[in-house]
Structure 1
Amino acid sequence: MDPIIQAIIVRLIRTMGYRVDAEYFTEDHAWAFLPKMVAPLQAGRTLVPGVMHILMELGLTLGIRPGAESQYYRSALEKQLGPCPYTPEEFAHFLTLIRGQVNGYFEAAVSKSGPDLTGFGKSKPGSFFS
């Protein structure tokens, strides 16, 4: 695993309140954390803003454009973490929950950000020239 990707994932796990030893952190640990990350979402809770920003950073570092289909996320993660232990359906479900949180958070942030003084209108995160 690329050390930058590892550092981002370790920071994500720590930001969510879990302890992790970065020195012994492996690809298997990263995959095993995915269900723990979505468990609060399945219980109706929301992720904190810091986690949302780290998830966006992870996607950008992996070279995934915002809004990409789930196979692109899976492929990019498998290049770093090895084979995904989840079925395509399970992975798509995890990704749908996470995406809903991240997209909802950033859309709300854009709508709350003061008046547009440029004349170009407010653009959504991840979109260019819109």
Structure 2
Amino acid sequence: LPNAEKNQEKWPEIMPISANSDAQAMPQDIAYAGDVFQEFLAIRSSSPLFRLTTEQDVIDRVGFHNVGENQQHGLIVMSIDDGEGLVDLDIAVDAVVVVINATQQALSHTVLTATGFEL
């Protein structure tokens, strides 16, 4: 079980999971997690837009688009702007759109201000 100092109140929830042999990390699970982490590092290093260094840059450049009353649960749509009026951090692109689908369904979202993007 995890450290009691910060997690003891959650032990009743954690104990059945840790005792479940189907919930144990297998070598292939660990390898997959390592591969995904390496992919995230490659994405992060692919553009300076993924490495904003100031609070103001985040405020000025990052926007979330799947929000509000019509929000699709399990879908994150984020843009990082490098366009007009901003110091150009990445000469190769004017913006990056990140889409994370945490569901098992195919989902889509339209960003009305975005055109010309390619996967």
Q: TM-score, normalised by structure 1?
A: 0.24
Higher Cα radius of gyration: 2
Q: Which of 1 and 2 has higher RCO (CA within 8 Å, sep 6+)?
A: 1
Q: TM-score, normalised by structure 2?
A: 0.26
| Bigger proportion of residues as helix | 1
